[in-house]
A = this chain, B = another copy of it.
Amino acid sequence: MWKQVIVIRQDLRMSKGKTAAQVAHASLEAYKKSSLEDQIEWEAWGSKKVVLKIKTLHEIITLQKAAAKARVPNALIKDAGHTEVEPGTVTALGIGPCSEDEIDHITGHLQML
């Protein structure tokens, strides 16, 4: 199975609307970095998206490095900071689409939002 995972920071205490917008940014930017083959495979699996939570900036940066090391497409989102958070704040990380095995190796320890 192919899937995409979006990791969102909980420590920023963003609203439901702000959270949703950050998740959408991360999903789209990671998608744009993925290969056409992965995009097609993912769509065949229903474009599965899973939203996970993380507690700190340090943890999200560590995850991004793990994804990059594994050569899994990923996109770290820095918010423009018009509302709720300071400009340049890292809010979310999109990982994939790629195979579930590859993603779970990186994010398998995290909980659903």
Contact = CB atoms under 8 A, between A and B. Distances in A.
A25 interface: yes
A37 B15 CA distance: 32
Interface residues of A, number: 25
Given A27-B27, A28-B31, A31-B28, A20 B6 contact: yes
A46 B80 contact: yes
* Identical copies in the complex: 2
Contacts of A33: none
Contacts of A31: 28
Contacts of A17: 51, 53, 112-113
Interface string A41-54: 00000110111010
Interface of A: 6, 8, 15-17, 19-21, 23-29, 31, 46-47, 49-51, 53, 80, 112-113
Given A21-B49, A28-B31, 8 more contacts: A6-B24, A16-B19, A17-B51, A17-B113, A19-B20, A20-B51, A24-B51, A27-B28
